[in-house]
């Protein structure tokens, strides 16, 4: 574990650049070889009728440079999201390009996005090839994000039971507990030694709160002990950081190069530790539930209500008859899909509320009225109902995810042809993608898209919008299973922060580049000043 300290990671990452020339040569040779093999020895080039191919060829799109297509235009990593945005503006709602022999079609209108993501006719079309298979596939394997077909369908149905209304009500207590620890941690930073007016990052503390929640909900780790969750945080962070590094360096997608790279050793050691923690928890739960019937059996016997709330997800998986490998894959998936997404959203939310104090004030009024109501705040827990009532805070979260939709690209490899409209059918074999941030900044759907306007999400305004114009959680059969969980968790963290602090920032939106890692990631953490609020609660008065 010691050898996996973040400092070491940066040292190793630095060595990437000393090897860069060797890798550049390797990548050029490898890509040339791949091109030659695909061009001359493979029949996998574009499927579809001559008419479709002609149509695809006629679509606009960045042609870029031979072999690498628009990768050259996207080489400036800090600007890459803006470049993709510009492609949509320049080439319209559907455009195409090729990288090596792979054809990509990108759509950025709501009806076309619906045709891609809304269909269940395709069975469950595979997730995007490159990143999913080569990079994320190593961690998530056959988990929900990366699997397809019957396996996906059965697992999705079972795992959905971990996100029902009854389960969410149970998690609410835990969200509150972890959010209170977050407030204590923030207090110790801003009220401890040092300049009380200094602006500081808070991202690490928000992320730590996120992992505590996931550790307890998914793995059943008791976060009161703190130690286990901290270990999980350290190791999950290393796996994630290295994965991000790899996403930025396409030559590391090539297994031969990756396996020789020093980062891969670090990656596999961290992954082993992560899998070790999960395996330990699986064994623990197996022991604890040795004598209780597996859920599948009890349902058959009609003894358990469908809607029984979930204790934790390992228990749900074990009792539903998943084997150890399946549990490992799904737990890794939930940790990766559920931890940095939500905490990243809270980080962006705090930033946007600090930039828009008038909305911070409206949210705070909502929050205070819940905290001051003994029916809504009992035994130091904001109830599920209280959180559901915080409508303006919810609109601020939705608006935050419009501007920063963390999981920004939904790519699909077509297993069978896909009809986009009456005239156009995309052939099997190509990769089609929807970039939600381009839809979210389309003035046709969101006038003045650069402005923070939570009222866009008032019910009357939502009704007027195409259902596929807004999709931070994707839409359709493969939408985010954790959407309600994420909104409830974000609300709880934000409510506790706003109850205790006034939030300021000295950063501006353009100061920090947003990087297209696996998730949208600010190039550096935003800086905040948190001023402790003085409030007297009804409970205080009664005491
Ligand atoms: C703000 C927070 C979150 C955002 C923005 C988000 C976004 C998304 C998006 C866009 C997808 C679709 C990806 C695609 O189609 O390629 C997705 C899928 C998924 N998300 Fe989330 N997510 C969030 C939180 C969570 C949480 C808290 C969990 C679990 C605890 C979770 C678990 C999953 C899983 C398992 C899938 C795959 C679903 C499937 O393919 O059936 N997510 N998420």
* Cβ 383 under 6 angstroms from ligand 1: no
Contact (Cβ atoms closer than 8 angstroms) between residue 437 and residue 408: yes
- pLDDT tens-place string over residues 1-56: 444 444 444 444 444 444 545 445 555 555 555 555 554 444 444 556 677 778 88
Q: Looking at ligand 1, which atom is closest to the CA of residue 489?
A: 27
Q: Looking at ligand 1, which atom is closest to the CA of residue 117?
A: 15
Looking at residue 231, its pLDDT comes to: 87
Q: Quick one: which of 100, 90, 103, 92 has its CA closest to 53? A: 103
Q: What is the mean pLDDT of the chain?
A: 85
Contact (Cβ atoms closer than 8 angstroms) between residue 110 and residue 469: yes
* Cβ 410 under 6 angstroms from ligand 1: yes
Total Cβ atoms within 10 A of residue 179: 24
DSSP 8-state assignment for residue 38: I
Residue ID of nearest Cα to ligand 1 atom 21: 480
Looking at residue 15, its pLDDT comes to: 46
Beta bridge partners of 411: 433
Contacts of 303 (CB under 8 A, 6+ apart): 293
* Residue 98, CA distances (Å) to 60, 64, 113 in order: 12, 9, 20
Residue ID of nearest Cα to ligand 1 atom 7: 473
Residue ID of nearest Cα to ligand 1 atom 8: 473
Instruction: Tell me: ipTM over 0.90.
Output: yes
- The alpha carbon of 64 and the centre of ligand 1 are apart by a number of angstroms equal to 32
- pLDDT tens-place string over residues 210-245: 999 999 999 888 765 667 788 888 998 999 889 888
- The alpha carbon of 342 and the centre of ligand 1 are apart by a number of angstroms equal to 10
Contact (Cβ atoms closer than 8 angstroms) between residue 504 and residue 196: no
227-248 and 262-288 helices, crossing angle to 10°:
140
> Helix or strand or coil: residue 50?
helix
- pLDDT tens-place string over residues 359-405: 999 999 999 999 999 999 999 999 999 999 999 999 999 999 999 99
Looking at residue 46, its pLDDT comes to: 55
Looking at residue 4, its pLDDT comes to: 45
Looking at residue 222, its pLDDT comes to: 75
**Percent of the chain whose predicted confidence (pLDDT) is above 70:** 83
- The alpha carbon of 364 and the centre of ligand 1 are apart by a number of angstroms equal to 28
The pLDDT of residue 321 is above 60? yes
Distance between CA atoms of residues 47 and 19, nearest Å: 39
Looking at residue 249, its pLDDT comes to: 83
Residue carrying the six token digits 């009804």:
538
Q: Looking at ligand 1, which atom is closest to the CA of residue 333?
A: 35
- pLDDT tens-place string over residues 109-155: 999 999 999 987 654 455 555 555 667 778 888 899 888 888 888 99
Task: Please name the residue ranges forming H helices in 191-294.
Answer: 203-219, 227-248, 255-260, 262-288
Strands, E, within 354-484: which ranges?
A: 377-378, 381-382, 409-413, 418-419, 425-426, 431-435
**Which range is least confidently modeled, 92-106, 231-245, 279-293, 343-357?**
279-293
Q: What's the first-to-final CA gap in the chain, in angstroms?
A: 47
> Helix or strand or coil: residue 103?
strand
- The alpha carbon of 372 and the centre of ligand 1 are apart by a number of angstroms equal to 34
Q: For strand 102-107 and strand 431-435, is the pairing parallel, antiparallel, or unpaired?
A: parallel
Distance between CA atoms of residues 362 and 392, nearest Å: 7
Distance between CA atoms of residues 237 and 4, nearest Å: 10
Total Cβ atoms within 10 A of residue 311: 16
pTM of the model: 0.89
Distance between CA atoms of residues 437 and 65, nearest Å: 25
The pLDDT of residue 302 is above 50? no
Distance between CA atoms of residues 32 and 35, nearest Å: 5
Contact (Cβ atoms closer than 8 angstroms) between residue 478 and residue 165: no
Give me 47's structure tokens.
């499927």
């Amino acid at each position: 574990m010691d050898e996996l300290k973040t400092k070491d990671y940066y040292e190793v990452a630095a060595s990437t650049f000393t090897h860069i020339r060797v890798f550049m040569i390797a990548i050029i040779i490898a890509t040339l070889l791949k091109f030659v093999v695909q061009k001359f020895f493979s029949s996998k080039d574009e499927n579809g009728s001559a008419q479709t191919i002609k149509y695809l060829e006629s679509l606009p799109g960045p042609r870029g440079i031979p072999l690498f297509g628009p990768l050259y235009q996207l080489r400036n990593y800090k600007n890459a999201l803006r470049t993709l945005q510009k492609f949509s503006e320049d080439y319209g709602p559907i455009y195409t390009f090729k990288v090596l022999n792979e054809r990509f079609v990108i759509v950025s209108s709501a009806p076309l996005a619906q045709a891609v993501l809304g269909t269940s006719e395709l069975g469950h079309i595979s997730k995007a090839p490159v990143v999913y298979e080569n990079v994320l596939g190593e961690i998530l394997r056959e988990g929900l994000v990366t699997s397809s077909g019957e396996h996906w369908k059965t697992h999705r149905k079972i795992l959905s039971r971990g996100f029902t209304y009854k389960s969410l009500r149970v998690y609410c207590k835990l969200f509150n507990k972890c959010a209170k620890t977050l407030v204590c941690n923030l207090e110790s930073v801003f009220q401890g030694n040092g300049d009380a007016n200094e602006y500081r990052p808070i991202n690490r503390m928000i992320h730590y709160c996120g992992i505590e929640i996931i550790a307890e909900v998914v793995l059943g780790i008791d976060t009161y002990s703190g130690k286990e969750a901290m270990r999980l945080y350290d190791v999950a962070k290393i796996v994630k950081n290295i994965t991000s590094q790899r996403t930025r360096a396409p030559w590391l997608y090539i297994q031969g190069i990756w396996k020789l790279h020093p980062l891969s050793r670090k990656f596999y050691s961290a992954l082993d530790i992560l899998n070790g923690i999960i395996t330990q928890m699986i064994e623990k739960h197996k022991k604890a539930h040795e004598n209780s019937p597996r859920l599948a059996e009890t349902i058959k016997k009609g003894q358990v209500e469908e809607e029984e709330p979930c204790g934790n997800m390992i228990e749900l998986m074990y009792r539903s008859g998943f084997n150890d490998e399946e549990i490992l894959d799904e737990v890794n998936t939930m940790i990766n899909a559920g931890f940095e997404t939500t905490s990243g959203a809270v980080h962006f939310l705090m930033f946007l509320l600090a930039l828009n104090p008038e909305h911070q004030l409206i949210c705070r009024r909502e929050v205070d009225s819940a905290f001051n109501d003994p029916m809504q705040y009992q035994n130091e827990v904001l109830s599920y109902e209280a959180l559901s009532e915080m409508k303006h805070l919810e609109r601020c979260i939705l608006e935050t995810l419009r501007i920063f939709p963390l999981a920004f690209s939904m790519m699909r490899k077509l297993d069978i042809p896909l009809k986009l409209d009456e005239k156009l059918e995309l052939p099997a074999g190509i990769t089609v993608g929807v970039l939600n941030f381009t839809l979210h900044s389309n003035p046709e759907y969101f006038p003045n898209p650069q402005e923070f306007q939570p009222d866009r999400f008032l019910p009357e305004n939502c009704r007027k919008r195409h259902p596929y114009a807004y999709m931070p959680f994707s839409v359709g059969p493969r939408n985010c299973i954790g959407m309600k969980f994420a909104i409830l968790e974000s609300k709880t963290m934000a409510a506790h922060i706003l109850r205790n602090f006034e939030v300021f920032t000295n950063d501006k939106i353009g100061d920090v580049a947003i990087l297209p890692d696996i998730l949208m990631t600010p190039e550096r953490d935003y800086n905040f000043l948190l001023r402790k609020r003085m409030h007297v609660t009804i409970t205080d008065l009664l005491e």
